[in-house]
């Protein structure tokens, strides 16, 4: 009796194995040997990758993928510095700084250009030369918008000391205060510019940081702001998967730009922000895909501007050629 039970048990295990093999053959799927881990900062930085969050694509040789939203820059720094992620989507200057400090993560592509605006109820603001004597709110002293503000006013022979800047609020708080009428002139990125515009029609976009960059003759396009970087281990151990991940990311960006309504629903589904806010903001988010080497001149122009104001913002010096993935 015991032998019969043992035989039946072995037969059952054998049949389960055959069933699993048949299922793999019919679906073309195999158990993943490696999970390609991707991290994006929460907010518009994640917009372009949102189709990947939904599809969770698989890649050659048993490589699957997973996607994570990070709420703070500090969390992203920790993930990259310790090599916990295979791909990271983050601000360009932070990517350059981490690379210079030894992370070794090269940049694969620019995935977002500038999306910062000055909005105001003040009709007298028509250019950077009109800012002396004004009070404005700006999130993040020493962040990219702050350096760019300094750069643009300096080009007009103006110092930021000639205006009063309130750095005490986050971008969401600035948007809320602008809508409530508590502040009248603000500098915010998307999607907060769109939020303010929709809920407070008297707050108009007075200055476009992206157009000002072009007007300075630095480039014929807005400055590069967001990039995707890849870990050296991924590139060494799974080069084909890395290549196909980047192609899938490029396709995701194209899909988001062409399907803003559906993309907005996914953006809400994954907890980035509400669809009602994301949908109108997508068109202003400058989502692009430009391979690293093709974007190198624009990148170095932008990083040089930041370095001139604060070398530590990019890790001291411009990154070497190893930063640009071939």
Fold of the domain built from segment(s) 34-113+224-323 = D-Maltodextrin-Binding Protein; domain 2 (3.40.190)
Closest CA to 306 of 319, 294, 295: 319
Contact 107, 292 (CB under 8 A): yes
CATH code of the domain made up of 116-215: 3.40.190.10
Q: What residues does CATH 3.40.190.10 cover in the chain?
A: 34-113+224-323, 116-215
Alpha-carbon torsion angle 305, 75, 285, 186, nearest 10: -70
Q: What is the pLDDT of residues 227-269, one digit of tens each?
A: 999 999 999 999 999 999 999 999 999 999 999 999 999 999 9
Alpha-carbon torsion angle 23, 27, 28, 30, nearest 10: -50
Q: What is the pLDDT of residues 111-156, one digit of tens each?
A: 999 999 999 999 999 999 999 999 999 998 888 899 999 999 999 9
* Adjacent-strand bridge partners of 37: 66
Question: Could you tell me what percentage of the chain is helix, strand and coil, using 3-state DSSP and rounding each to the nearest 5?
Answer: 50, 20, 30
Q: What is the pLDDT of residues 67-124, one digit of tens each?
A: 999 999 999 999 999 999 999 999 999 999 999 999 899 999 999 999 999 999 999 9
């Amino acid at each position: 009796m015991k032998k019969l039970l043992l035989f039946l048990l072995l037969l059952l295990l054998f049949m389960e194995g055959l069933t699993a093999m048949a299922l793999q053959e019919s679906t073309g799927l195999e158990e993943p040997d490696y999970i390609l881990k991707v991290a994006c900062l929460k907010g518009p930085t994640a917009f372009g990758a949102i189709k990947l969050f939904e599809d969770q694509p698989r890649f050659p040789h048993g490589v699957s993928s997973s996607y994570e939203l990070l709420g703070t820059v500090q969390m992203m720094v920790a993930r990259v510095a310790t090599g916990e992620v295979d791909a990271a989507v983050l601000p360009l200057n932070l990517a350059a700084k981490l690379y210079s400090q030894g992370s070794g993560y090269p940049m694969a592509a620019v995935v977002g250009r500038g999306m910062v605006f000055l909005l105001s109820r003040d009709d007298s603001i028509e250019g950077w030369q009109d800012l002396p004597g004004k009070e404005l709110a700006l999130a993040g002293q020493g962040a990219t918008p702050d350096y760019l503000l300094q750069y643009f006013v300096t080009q007009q022979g103006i110092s930021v000391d000639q205006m009063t800047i309130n750095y005490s609020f986050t971008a969401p708080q600035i948007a809320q205060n602008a809508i409530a009428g508590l502040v009248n002139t603000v500098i915010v990125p998307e999607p907060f510019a769109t939020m303010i515009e929709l809920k407070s029609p008297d707050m108009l976009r007075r200055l476009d940081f992206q157009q000002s960059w072009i007007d300075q003759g630095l480039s014929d396009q807005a400055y590069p702001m967001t990039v995707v970087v890849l870990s050296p281990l991924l590139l060494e151990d799974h080069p084909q998967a890395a290549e196909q991940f980047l192609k899938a990311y490029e396709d995701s960006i194209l899909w988001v730009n062409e399907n803003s309504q559906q993309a907005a629903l996914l953006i809400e589904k994954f907890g980035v922000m509400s669809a009602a806010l994301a949908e109108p903001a997508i068109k202003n988010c400058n989502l692009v895909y430009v391979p690293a080497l093709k974007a190198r001149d624009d990148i170095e122009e932008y990083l040089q501007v930041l370095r001139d104001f604060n070398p530590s913002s990019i890790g001291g010096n411009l990154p070497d050629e190893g930063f640009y993935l071939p």
